[in-house]
């Protein structure tokens, strides 16, 4: 059985380093995910801090926090068989890959080592150097805990002593030196972030995605992007996001946990937990908040915000509009400055606008309102009741002209200025 123990360093600075996300994931998440893909049977995280990772590692690892020698011995050593193989890595090694993890196990078992280390000869241990990782047999792990050092954080001392004790110690040569990078300071963190970013983006490009600036596009591991999609500079794509083929994700766009269908064009916009169907175009400077669903051929223009709403096929909202808690049908025109007023101070309410309706500029739709098919709302109207099919709704104050107002105002202002001595 193959087991992995991740050791979280005890220093405060190291704690801050491994709790700083790389491409929207904790460094430890990368190690855990790669280990799972490498078919490791059990994964333990040993830390002297309470876990700050929330639910990100839930169901993936056994958390030994706060770490102490007794709990680690009870949880790991006592449940380890002599024939088990244990890989021990530091938590500040986020660039380890599934292939390297598998290679460390395979090489250790193939050569029947009792202790093995990547890219470090046993003489280096004798001279006091600390390896990035160890691979141990179950019997060797138990001997380490029975030694005076007792704790895995002092395992280097045990292995140094083992050099003189007849253990079979080996080196596993790893060609990709960057994958063994230890993040010991914020300079290392920047380097690890850059290397991880390039690794992820290169994978997408090899699969047919066009990334215009590999070092200025950030894509979280696990995001799926279709062939011939163009990702422009400054874009950030995070979470459980799927992007189809032949899309353009324009300059400085941010997408989180969203599904983007084929042939979508997005320019400099923010999209979160939303669905965008084919041939829709968005932006610049638009925002889709959670539960926005844009059907095919929708146009969402500059400074338009959509939240918890469905926008039907062919509907257009060109500029300066808020669509909240609403269900819009097909081929609707939403004019400039329209607000779907959805909140009464305590409760949210929904509005419905049916196919081919027209909402004039600067109108307020005060929910709950139903605008039926082919209903027209005149510009500047505040609508508080339903609009029937084919009707025009106008709701404005009556216009009043005041004759000679400007001249009277000038005279009044001049008199006031004189009284004030100005």
Residue 129 has pLDDT above 80, yes or no: no
Q: Tell me the per-residue pLDDT of 203-221, one tens digit each, with 9 for 90 and over.
A: 999 999 999 999 999 999 9
Integer Cα distance of 322 and 340 in angstroms: 6
- pLDDT value for 95: 95
Averaged pLDDT score across all residues of the chain: 89
Is 190 a member of any domain? no
Answer whether residue 27 is part of any domain.
Answer: yes
Active site residues: 319
Cβ count near 20 (within 10 Å): 13
Q: Rounded to whole angstroms, how far apart are CA atoms 213 and 210? A: 9
pLDDT at 156: 59
User: 394, 382 in Cβ contact below 8 A?
Assistant: no
Least confident of 112-126, 152-166, 201-215, 252-266: 152-166
In a domain, 255, yes or no: no
Tokens (6 digits) for 180: 């063994």
Candidate ranges 11-25, 176-190, 327-341; pick with highest mean pLDDT: 327-341
pTM above 0.85, yes or no: yes
Question: Which has more pLDDT, 90 or 12?
Answer: 90
**What's the average model confidence in pLDDT over 158-174?**
73
Nearest to 160 by CA among 192, 117, 194, 210: 117
For the residues 191-213, what does the mean pLDDT come to? 97
- Asked whether residue 317 is assigned to any structural domain, the reply reads no
Q: How many CB atoms lie within 10 A of CB 285?
A: 15
Beta carbons within 8 Å of 115's beta carbon, 6+ residues apart: 134, 135, 136, 140, 159, 162, 167, 168, 169, 170
In a domain, 60, yes or no: yes
CA atoms of 377 and 392, how far apart (whole Å): 6
Task: Tell me how far CA of residue 359 lies from CA of 337, 369, 374, 390, in angstroms.
Answer: 10, 13, 10, 13
Least confident piece of the model among 10-19, 106-115, 149-158, 405-414: 149-158
pLDDT-derived band of residue 133, with 50, 70 and 90 as boundaries? confident
Instruction: Report the sign of the C-alpha dihedral through residues 203, 209, 215, 216, in that order.
Output: negative
> Can you tell me which residue has the tokens 């004039």?
360
Burial of residue 397 (number of CB atoms within 10 Å: 0-12, 13-18, 19+)? exposed
- Check if the beta carbon of residue 336 is closer than 8 Å to that of residue 352: no
Two tokens, residue 292: 């926005």
Q: What is the pLDDT of residue 410?
A: 94
Comparing 159 with 245, the larger pLDDT belongs to 245
Question: Over the stretch 384-416, which tens digit does the pLDDT of each residue have?
Answer: 999 999 999 999 888 889 999 999 999 999 988
Q: Is 296 helix (H, G, I), strand (E, B) or coil?
A: coil
Beta bridge partners of 156: none
Q: List the CATH number of the domain containing 86.
A: 3.90.550.10
Total domain count, the chain: 1
The pLDDT, as a whole number, for residue 212 is 95
Residue 111 lies in a domain: yes
Q: Is position 108 within any domain?
A: yes
Across the range 157-182, mean pLDDT stands at 78
Helix H or strand E segment including 406: helix 405-419
Domain range for residue 69? 2-180
Residue 186 counted as domain residue = no
Whose structure tokens read 């890989």?
87
CB neighbours of 390 closer than 8 A, spacing ≥ 6? 372, 373, 374, 375
Q: What is the pLDDT of residues 336-364, one digit of tens each?
A: 999 999 999 999 999 999 999 999 999 99
């Amino acid at each position: 059985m193959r087991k992995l123990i991740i050791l979280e360093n005890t220093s405060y600075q190291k704690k801050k380093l491994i709790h700083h996300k790389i491409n929207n994931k904790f460094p430890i998440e990368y190690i855990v995910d790669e280990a799972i893909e490498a078919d490791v049977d059990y994964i333990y995280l040993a830390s002297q801090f309470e876990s700050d990772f929330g639910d990100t590692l839930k169901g993936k690892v056994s958390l030994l926090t706060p770490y102490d020698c007794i709990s680690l011995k009870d949880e790991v050593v006592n449940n380890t068989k002599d024939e088990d193989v244990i890989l021990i890595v530091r938590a500040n090694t986020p660039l380890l890959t599934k292939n390297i993890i598998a290679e460390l196990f395979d090489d250790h078992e193939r050569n029947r080592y009792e202790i093995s280390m990547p890219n470090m000869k046993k003489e280096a241990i004798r001279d006091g150097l600390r390896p990035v990782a160890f691979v141990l047999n179950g019997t060797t792990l138990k001997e380490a805990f029975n030694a005076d050092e007792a704790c895995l954080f002092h395992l280097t001392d045990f292995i140094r002593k083992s050099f003189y004790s007849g253990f079979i110690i080996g080196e596993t040569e790893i060609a990709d030196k960057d994958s063994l990078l230890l993040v010991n300071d914020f300079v290392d963190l920047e380097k690890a972030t850059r290397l991880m970013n390039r690794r992820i983006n290169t994978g997408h490009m090899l699969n047919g995605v066009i990334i215009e600036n590999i070092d200025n596009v950030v894509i979280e591991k696990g995001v799926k992007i279709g062939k011939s999609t163009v990702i422009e500079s400054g874009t950030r794509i995070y979470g459980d996001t799927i992007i189809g083929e032949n899309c353009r994700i324009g300059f400085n766009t941010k997408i989180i946990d969203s599904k983007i269908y084929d042939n979508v064009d997005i320019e400099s916009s923010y999209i979160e937990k939303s669905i965008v169907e084919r041939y829709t175009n968005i932006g610049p400077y638009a925002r889709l908040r959670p539960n926005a669903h844009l059907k095919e051929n929708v146009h969402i223009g500059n400074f338009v915000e959509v939240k918890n709403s469905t926008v039907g096929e062919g509907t257009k909202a060109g500029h300066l509009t808020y669509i909240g808690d609403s269900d819009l049908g097909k081929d609707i025109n939403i004019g400039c400055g329209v607000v779907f007023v959805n909140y009464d101070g305590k409760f949210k309410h929904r509005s419905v606008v049916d196919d081919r309706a027209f909402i004039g500029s600067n109108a307020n739709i005060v929910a709950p309102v139903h605008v039926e098919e082919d209903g027209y709302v005149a510009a500047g109207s505040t609508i508080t009741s339903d609009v029937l099919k084919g009707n025009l709704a106008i709701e404005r104050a009556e216009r009043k002209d005041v004759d000679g107002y400007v001249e009277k105002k000038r005279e009044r202002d001049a008199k006031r200025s004189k009284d004030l001595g100005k």
